Structure 1
Amino acid sequence: MKIKNEFENQISDSRRLAFFLSLAGGFQDAYSYICRGNVFANAQTGNIVLLSGHLISGQFIKAIHYIFPILAFLSGIYLTEWIQYLYKKNRILHWRQIILFFEIVAMVFVGCLPSSMNVLANIILSFSCAMQVSSFKKFRGITFATTMCIGNMRNATEFLAQYHIYSQKESIYKSLHYYGAIAIFSLGSSLGFIFSKLLGLISIWIAALFLFIGFILMLIKE
């Protein structure tokens, strides 16, 4: 119980942290698509569709570009569970801070990779994204994703409908949170599009900066 109390007031579920994680999530998707061969680092649904299309068309070499990020995404979720298990009682850093630190290092490394190594870059980005989505699931009691939008869109609209049907103030509060998360993700994607065009491969370092700010925020006690 003592170790739990050391982190109970941590900012790991705050809106400020969610803001920077969502910016990074949107940025990564735009970056991987524009700079790394039209592959989505976060949206694995799109990768599965493209993988299936290339397999059906007999374009097996192109299919490889999509199967590796999918496998990396699954591996990232699996490893995150182990990190949580092994470091949940760590007295120095919260296990989620370890995840963020790994993501930052991964993105800095990806920015150093040439375009000839896009497959490796997408593997690392998908792995990193999976760790984020698996680690940061809830902010201020509201569950939402910082690396994708489809679940947030569904929840936002469901709560909006519930507000209109039942006039529940809590429902509109939650709905606005989800729509806000979508807007921030979209802002991150827009920044990713702009800076990917301007800076090229190293633009992913901007997403790393967003995560670094999140890492610093997690050192603050609320």
Structure 2
Amino acid sequence: MTNGFMDAHTYYVRGGVFANVQTGNVIFFAIDMSERKVAAALAHVWPILAFMVGVAVAAHIKSGRTERWVSHPLRWAMAVQVVALVVIGFVPVTVAHQYVTVPIAFLAALQMGLFRNIGDLAYLPVATTGNLMRFVESAFDGLAERSAAARHACGVYGTLIVGFTGGALIGAFASRAWSAHAIWLAAGLLAVTLVLFIVDERYVR
């Protein structure tokens, strides 16, 4: 939900740039370059670079190296996202958009790098295309092969798609109503997720 929310938010409020879905930024970059709008094209480059750095940081965290200095690095990564989004909500829309879209793209990459599985099912938290493909494939297997596991997967992917779409819808309405401050809703959603993450870890133990 937060990823769908943030893409709608940054597109509507922060200069027509996608903070999460870098495919969109690549396409807009190409269109702007074809029209010789270099400055507009570069606005889509910085989030892409920030996303790449975020993926590298997530890979470093997943390698276990950070646990030498920081306990529970996943919790800290989520907490940093919450605080960053709260701070971003105070940044006026008159400020250059890259000061907002770049850190959001970094945080989105961090989230994608650290959270890509629900049980044994792989998914993408920052986009819908891959999840939509897996939804249809698992639905087909559930019907044609009468597979209970495939039906379960279909339900999971369907929930992810609805969540992402719902987040984008809420983000669009909230951004129109509250402009830059709307991102505080996304921060709240992530804060609730962090609490549930901690509770779930304790329950498993």
Q: What TM-score does the superposition give when structure 2 sets the normalisation length? A: 0.91
The correspondence of residues 90-109 of structure 1 with structure 2, limited to 5 A, is 93-109=71-87
Q: What TM-score does the superposition give when structure 1 sets the normalisation length? A: 0.85
Give the structure 2 partner of residue 130 of structure 1: 109
Deviations 1:141-163 (A, max 9, x none): 22212221111001111111122
Give the structure 1 partner of residue 191 of structure 2: 212
Cα offset for 1:219?
Answer: 1.9
Cα offset for 1:140?
Answer: 2.6
Going from structure 1 to structure 2, the CA distance change for 1:93 and 1:205 (only over 3 Å counts) comes to farther
Contact 1:87 1:94 (C-alpha < 8 Å) held by counterparts: no
Aligned match for 2:92, one of 95, 114, 117: 114
Give the structure 1 partner of residue 176 of structure 2: 197
Q: How many residues align?
A: 199
Deviations 1:41-81 (A, max 9, x none): 11110100000111122110101110000001001001112
Q: Which has the higher contact order (CA 8 A, sep 6+)?
A: 1
The one-letter amino acid paired with 2:18 is F
**Is 1:63 matched with 2:37?**
no
Going from structure 1 to structure 2, the CA distance change for 1:215 and 1:93 (only over 3 Å counts) comes to farther
The alignment yields a C-alpha RMSD, in angstroms, of: 1.5
**Alpha-carbon distance in structure 1 between the residues aligned to 2:172 and 2:118:** 27
Bigger Cα displacement from structure 2, 76-85 vs 194-203:
76-85
Going from structure 1 to structure 2, the CA distance change for 1:188 and 1:93 (only over 3 Å counts) comes to farther
Going from structure 1 to structure 2, the CA distance change for 1:40 and 1:108 (only over 3 Å counts) comes to same
Cα offset for 1:167?
Answer: 1.6
Give the structure 2 partner of residue 169 of structure 1: 148
Aligned match for 2:128, one of 149, 159, 163: 149
Aligned-residue identity in percent: 24
For structure 1, list consecutive stretches of 5 or more residues without a partner in the other structure: 1-22
**Alpha-carbon distance in structure 2 between the residues aligned to 1:63 and 1:212:** 34
**Alpha-carbon distance in structure 2 between the residues aligned to 1:143 and 1:28:** 22
**Is 1:83 matched with 2:61?**
yes
Deviations 1:117-150 (A, max 9, x none): 2111000111110000111111232221222111
Stretches of 4+ moved more than 6 A in 1?
Answer: none
Contact 1:42 1:129 (C-alpha < 8 Å) held by counterparts: yes
SS at match of 1:218: helix
Cα offset for 1:164?
Answer: 2.5
**Alpha-carbon distance in structure 2 between the residues aligned to 1:53 and 1:34:** 19
Going from structure 1 to structure 2, the CA distance change for 1:89 and 1:142 (only over 3 Å counts) comes to farther
